[in-house]
Chain A
Amino acid sequence: MNVTAFNRILTVAFFAVLFILPLVNSDSYIRHISIIAIMYAVLVSSWNVTLGYGGVFNFGHMAFFAIGAYATGVMTKTFDVSPWWGMPIGVVAAVIASVIVCLPVLRLKGIYVILVTFAFTQLCLQIVLNQRDLTGGNFGLVSIPPLEIGAFSFRDFQNAGYYYLALLLLVVTLLAMLWFRRSHFGRSVIAFRDNETYAISRGLPLAKVRLMTFMFSAVFPGAVGSVYAQYVRSASPDMFGFSFLTLALSMLLLGGVGTIWGPIAGAFVFTIISELLTPLGPGRYLVTATLIVLVLRFFPGGLAGIPEFAGQLLKGRSGAAGDPAMLKDEK
């Protein structure tokens, strides 16, 4: 059996398990954790577009998620727009935000990108906190209208509606990522990461590709943010926060940047680890932080580096797992 066929079977099996899970298990706690894990998988996979494939250190990705959630919440709750417009609104808001943050980033490199996108996130937070009348300020935006079809609420049957909606988003995200990797667009993005000067000399438009990378990657957090807001029926300023960003970053690093399955595996494994550590209270964040540093130090390839690492062990070669492309020197 060749590798591609094996991968395909694994993919189908993975989604089959996720599809059947709600039919055989109706425990509300497990349902909640699976929904959250699926949402994280979408978020982290799409972050991988800018950070992993693009080599652009966009630390504003979680802001796109929060903006999607807040846009949906404000429009459907305060302005009485139908909840079904929630997702389009969330996506459009996130894409607009991505254009705003991308403009200064177009001319910047390396660490400056991190700092500007990080500042963008924090300033969004400040605006949300200040516009209390619209966003609920510190307390967050509560009682956002849920999705309903006639008498059926997406909350019925232990949130089955939200579960399948999230799963659908994950399937769409995965397909989009597979398309991205093979498309001309995706290859130009990777070309800019690997050798910017050469890519420009071959006639690739840097500004256009970078802007499109940001817009493309912002679609998914916008959509997930919107569904998340409708699922938990609230949006909180924590979504712009440090801890959320660090959590998503650790999923990406743990899973392996610049790979298709790394972020998804990272999201699932990490959500489970994080749930197992809940009894520790704030102590679990200490474990998370330590884990990131250890992964960076000893296992830069993350989970996605394991097969290669194992292969190297079998062949008796020394050295750690392969350097993920993201961690190449940015010049």
Chain B
Amino acid sequence: MALLDTLLLALKTTFVSGLVLASLYVLMASGLALVWNTLGIFNFTHGAIMAAAAYVAWQISDPKGYGLGLAAGIVGALIASGVMGLVINRLLIAPFLNQKNVVLIAVMTTLSGAFFIENSALLIWGPRIKQLEKVVDGNLRVAGTVISGHEVVIIVIAPLLMLGLWAFLKFTWTGRAIRAVAQNREFAELSGIDVRRMYAVAFATAAMLAGFAGIMLGAIRFITPGLGAEPLLKALIVVILGGLGSIPGTILGAYVVGFSEALSTYYIGAYWTQAVLFLIFIAILLIRPSGLLGKD
């Protein structure tokens, strides 16, 4: 029985830490998934927007900044991210929309955009690390592990956000118009959809989701210009694993990555977790090149 107990405890611990990680990844991937799953454009500025939003929230909320409180910081940062999304779309995506290979060009322009935003953050806020307040204080003991109230909020909000995103794309006119643009631009245009406007809407929404992820991250990690680099990588793995064009796939991908990471950290050690993750990633792609739930 003792063996069973240890096994059960190990399972519980890895489950909780896996759940925390997976929810974080859902949150990080949501904005990226919106643009990638609908328009098929991979937005490398995603991570940089997270960092920038965390900085803006800090600037507004922190006593060393304007000191207006966390709520004002969150609202301000969300608006700022939305504007950033619009600007990114206007400067980095829209001018190349009429080229056939816009998807590949967008990789290079958004990569430059990310570079631009990160270094601007460095110029404006300097290299000194900062941190945001947590949304909720206090800790929670679950199954022998301690998780913070902030993480509980993330666990609850992240899936709801994705569900909302899925419903938005499935049921609202705008959501369906965005998907129509992705499926066949000319036909979408013919049926009276303003293609450029749909791109702007998608990018602004995605940037706000990235901004939200950045604000949540800014309270549990230190804010640096590179805050978004690791989340961008995780989000990237999640959306590829999930498969192009599938929001449920993205959610599944996030939970697969989160739990694999927790299990491998527990059984193999944190040192090799990233390598294990990449092996799983390659193995899945070799068997299913279009991702877990992607269409061929």
Which A residues form the contact surface with B (CB < 8 A)?
Answer: 57, 103-104, 107-108, 110-112, 114-116, 118-120, 122-123, 126-127, 130-131, 242-243, 245-246, 249-250, 253, 281-283, 285-286, 288-290, 292-293, 296-297, 327-330
Given A107-B289, A328-B101 in contact, is the A120-B278 Cβ separation under 8 Å? Answer: yes
The tally of CB-CB contacts under 8 A between chains A and B is 117
Q: Is the CB of B119 within 8 A of A286?
A: yes
- Check B114 for interface membership: any CB of A closer than 8 A: yes
Task: Indicate whether A293 sits within 8 Å of B109 (C-beta atoms), given known contacts A242-B229, A288-B115, A329-B101.
Answer: yes
**Would A249 and B111 be within 8 Å (CB), given that A111-B42, A119-B237, A296-B96 are in contact?**
yes
Q: Please choose the segment from B20-28, B62-70, B267-275 that sits at the chain A interface, where 4 or more of its residues have CB less than 8 A away.
A: B267-275
Give the 10 A-B CB pairs with smallest separation, nearest first.
Answer: A126-B274, A289-B116, A289-B112, A285-B119, A329-B100, A292-B112, A123-B278, A122-B233, A289-B115, A104-B282
Cross-chain pairs A/B with CB under 8 angstroms, 29 sampled = A103-B282, A104-B282, A104-B285, A104-B286, A111-B40, A111-B103, A112-B240, A112-B285, A114-B104, A119-B236, A123-B274, A123-B277, A130-B272, A242-B115, A242-B229, A246-B112, A249-B111, A282-B122, A282-B123, A285-B119, A286-B119, A289-B116, A289-B119, A292-B108, A292-B112, A293-B109, A296-B96, A296-B108, A297-B95
Chain A residues positioned under 8 Å from B285 (CB to CB): 104, 107-108, 112, 116
Determine how close the nearest CB of chain A comes to the CB of B172; give it in whole angstroms. 27
Residue of A nearest to B126 (CB): A282
Contact indicator B116/A119 (Cβ below 8 Å): no
A127 cross-chain contacts in B, Cβ below 8 A: 274-275
Question: Nearest residue in A to B287 (C-beta to C-beta)?
Answer: A107
Chain B residue at minimal CB-CB distance from A101: B282
Query: Which B residues touch A108, using CB under 8 A?
Result: 285, 289
User: Taking the complex as formed, is B92 at the interface, i.e. its CB lies under 8 A from any CB of chain A?
Assistant: yes
Contacts of A293 in B (CB 8 A): 91-92, 109, 112-113
Complex CA–CA separation, A228 to B119 (angstroms):
26
Is chain A's binding surface mostly helix, strand, loop or mixed?
helix
- Contact call B122/A246, Cβ cutoff below 8 A: no
B105 within 8 A of A: yes
A contact residues around B123 at 8 Å (CB) = 281-283, 286
Report A-chain residues with C-beta under 8 Å of the C-beta of B112.
246, 250, 288-290, 292-293
Residue on A nearest B47 in the bound complex, by CB: A242
Q: Is the CB of A249 within 8 A of B103?
A: no
* Residue of A114, A281, A328 with most chain B CB atoms under a 10 A cut-off: A114
Give the docked Cα–Cα distance between A143 and B103 (Å).
43
With both chains docked as a complex, state the minimum distance between the C-beta of A178 and any C-beta of chain B, in angstroms.
27
Tell me which residues from 62 to 113 in chain B have a Cβ below 8 Å from any Cβ of chain A.
91-92, 95-96, 99-101, 103-105, 107-109, 111-113
B183 at the interface (CB under 8 A from A): no
Instruction: Name the distance in Å between A60's Cβ and chain B's nearest Cβ.
Output: 12
Q: Is the interface of B mostly helix, strand, loop or mixed?
A: helix
Name which residue of chain A comes closest to B102, CB basis.
Answer: A329
> Is B281 interfacial (CB-CB < 8 Å)?
yes
Complex formed: what's the CA distance from A90 to B278 in Å? 22
Q: Which residues does chain B contribute within 8 Å of A120, judged by CB atoms? A: 278
Q: Is the CB of B108 within 8 A of A249?
A: yes
Are A112's CB and B289's CB within 8 A? yes
- Give bound CA distance, A286 to B112, whole Å: 9
A242: chain B residues at CB < 8 Å are 111, 114-115, 118, 229
Interface presence of B120 (CB below 8 A): yes
Indicate if the CB atoms of A119 and B114 lie closer than 8 Å.
no
| Contact flag A296-B120 (CB < 8 Å), given A104-B286, A107-B289, A119-B233 | no
Report A-chain residues with C-beta under 8 Å of the C-beta of B277. Answer: 123
Most buried by B among A285, A286, A292, A293: A293
Interface code B232-246, partner A: CB below 8 Å = 1, 0 otherwise?
010011001000000
B116 touches A290 (CB 8 A): yes
Which residues from chain B contact A297 at a C-beta distance below 8 Å?
95-96
Chain A residues contacting B282 (CB-CB under 8 Å) are: 103-104, 116
- In the assembled complex, the CB of A295 is this many whole angstroms from the nearest CB of chain B, namely 10
The answer to whether B115 touches A243, judged by C-beta atoms less than 8 angstroms apart, is yes
A321 CB to closest chain B CB, in angstroms? 14
In the complex the two chains form, is B274's CB within 8 Å of A115's CB? no
Q: Which residue of A lies closest to B117 (CB)?
A: A289
Complexed CA–CA distance, A292 and B274 (Å): 31
Whole-angstrom CA separation of A283 from B118 in the bound complex: 11
Q: How far is the CA of A232 from the CA of B95 in the complex (A)?
A: 41
- The distance in angstroms between the C-alpha atoms of A68 and B180, with both chains bound, is 46
CB distance from A325 to the nearest CB of B (A): 12
Contact A327 B105 (CB under 8 A): yes
